[in-house]
Amino acid sequence: MNPIRTFAVLCVSLALTTPLAAQDRRVPSSPAELKLSYAPIVQHVQPAVVNVYAAKVVQNRNPLLEDPIFRRFFGVPGQPEQIQRSLGSGVMVDASGLVVTNNHVIEGADQVKVALADKREFEAEIVLKDSRTDLAVLRLKDTSEKFPTLDFANSDDLLVGDVVLAIGNPFGVGQTVTHGIVSALARTQVGITDYQFFIQTDAAINPGNSGGALVDVSGKLVGINTAIFSRSGGSQGIGFAIPANMVRVVVASAKSGGKAVKRPWLGARLQAVSPEIAETLGLKRPGGALVASVTKGSPAERAGLKLSDLIVSIDGFAIDDPNAFDYRFATRPLGGAAQLEVQRSGKAVKLSIPLETAPDSGRDELVITSRSPFQGAKIANISPAIADEMRLDPSVEGVVVTDLPDDSTAANVGFQKGDIIVAVNNTRIGKTSDLERVAGQTARLWRIMLVRGGQQIQVTLGG
């Protein structure tokens, strides 16, 4: 081998194996080079990140204290009450005092307080709760001042490897800043909300960080920290944040005075493409969202979407699975249309889906108060809006349980939110007034037919 060439190869080899830090070592040429820091970003962001304290009154359930004879004999007045408290974080998103946090931080709360970075505390009212995204919007009470806020970033601009900072109140120790990178995007298998399309980061996120800010190096909000993957309860470098583009939709609904988030309605049920289905369709790999059913009269039907169509993109964004489609569709602005590309019998077809909300007339929601297995349950007729919101099959006839207190009779006998009551004691239940009437009757046995998770279940309960 030519000795000069050998030396050149050796130099390249040494350069590749020498640590970069060793190659770049030098004396700083100015004081500014000693001050490289995230401090300017933190100083801008910190005033807009708050602590959220929620409290609710619960009763200590003791079987002996539920017995009136026991209470009378021992002179016990009743079930003692206990205050349950939860701690989280939040982000000021409007100067009037609008705060976004996680729904699970304030769920069931009787009282909510917000503490600012300057240690001042304010009572807060819950403006909007959205369990589907695990987001909630609060408003500070009795104040007219203007508060510092964070601007939303376009979370679609994020790339894996981008530097991010997480700010919140982990373990209640006080406002804390951690930093890391975007570890992954579009995580759809986390299983904690309806809209699974999370930003994954290795910035340390711990209990108490929920609802706090994930910001980029320009100080803009890219996400709301929501969950961690942990075997110990502490950070293990896998945290998840709701993308800012979804947060923006929820905040916009709150600003418009809505009590619920307004989203586009597709009117079609989608399913994931398994390797077996991909092989049947002649795909090189599993991907896209397969249309399993289309609701009559829905935007999907009117646009020409058909059974077995494979949705591969929406407005230019590739669709890997139904979760990705749900997120992309839910973050489209109402009005106008979304452009879908579908594969139909091996050919590409383009469709225009109108972006409109689901009809919600005829809900007729009510609470069953009569003594029966249904006592305490809130029920509603299955409108297209409720079917979309609760992921129900709109073709099933019956009434759906939309809510029930933990201490209600209905909850104690085993009913769950989302159960569809189809028949009671051989009487078909077509609307809420049917169930209210049947529940008011006296019966020794209650034979109930319901649908839960798409499965029909027969239940017999004693009167």
Out of 130, 134, 320, 434, pick the active-site residue: 134
Which of the four pLDDT bands, split at 50, 70 and 90, describes residue 18? very low
Q: Note the pLDDT of residue 17.
A: 42
Contact call for residues 398 and 382 (beta carbons, < 8 A): yes
Out of 86, 210, 372, 383, pick the active-site residue: 210
Residue 121 scores a pLDDT above 50: yes
- The per-residue pLDDT for range 262-275, each reduced to its tens digit, is 899 999 989 999 99
Residue 206 labeled ligand binder: no
Is residue 361 flagged as an active site residue? no
Contact call for residues 182 and 199 (beta carbons, < 8 A): yes
Is residue 179 flagged as an active site residue? no
Which of the four pLDDT bands, split at 50, 70 and 90, describes residue 57? low
Which of the four pLDDT bands, split at 50, 70 and 90, describes residue 447? very high
Q: Note the pLDDT of residue 25.
A: 62
Dihedral pair phi/psi, residue 191, rounded to 5°: 75, 35
Give the residue with greater pLDDT, 427 vs 64: 427
Percent pLDDT > 70 in the chain is 84
Contact call for residues 364 and 237 (beta carbons, < 8 A): no
Q: Note the pLDDT of residue 187.
A: 77
Is residue 134 flagged as an active site residue? yes
Residue 94: burial class (beta carbons within 10 Å; 0-12, 13-18, 19+) = middle
Q: Note the pLDDT of residue 5.
A: 37
Give the residue with greater pLDDT, 28 vs 331: 331
Set out the domains of the chain in order of their start, with CATH numbers: 43-140 (2.40.10.10), 155-255 (2.40.10.10), 268-326+333-348 (2.30.42.10), 366-462 (2.30.42.10)
Q: Note the pLDDT of residue 432.
A: 93
Residue 453 labeled ligand binder: no
Give the residue with greater pLDDT, 442 vs 309: 309
Residue 211 labeled ligand binder: no
- The per-residue pLDDT for range 402-423, each reduced to its tens digit, is 988 888 899 988 999 999 999 9
Which of the four pLDDT bands, split at 50, 70 and 90, describes residue 192? low
Neighbours of 3 (CB within 10 A): 7
Percent pLDDT > 90 in the chain is 48
Q: Note the pLDDT of residue 361.
A: 79
- The per-residue pLDDT for range 339-392, each reduced to its tens digit, is 999 999 889 999 999 999 988 878 889 999 999 999 999 999 988 888 888 888
CA dihedral 407, 412, 414, 415 (to 10 degrees): -40
Q: Note the pLDDT of residue 13.
A: 39
Residue 323 labeled ligand binder: no
- The per-residue pLDDT for range 274-289, each reduced to its tens digit, is 999 988 888 888 999 9
Q: Note the pLDDT of residue 11.
A: 35
Antiparallel, parallel or unpaired: β 455-462 and 445-452: antiparallel
Which of the four pLDDT bands, split at 50, 70 and 90, describes residue 230? low
Residue 398 labeled ligand binder: no
| Tokens 């909630």 belong to residue | 136
Residues 218, 222, 223, 229, CA torsion sign: negative
Average pLDDT, the chain: 84
Residues 178, 181, 185, 191, CA torsion sign: negative
- Average pLDDT, integer, range 305-325: 93
279 Cβ contact partners less than 8 Å away, ≥ 6 residues apart = none
Q: Which two tokens stand for residue 321?
A: 């699975």
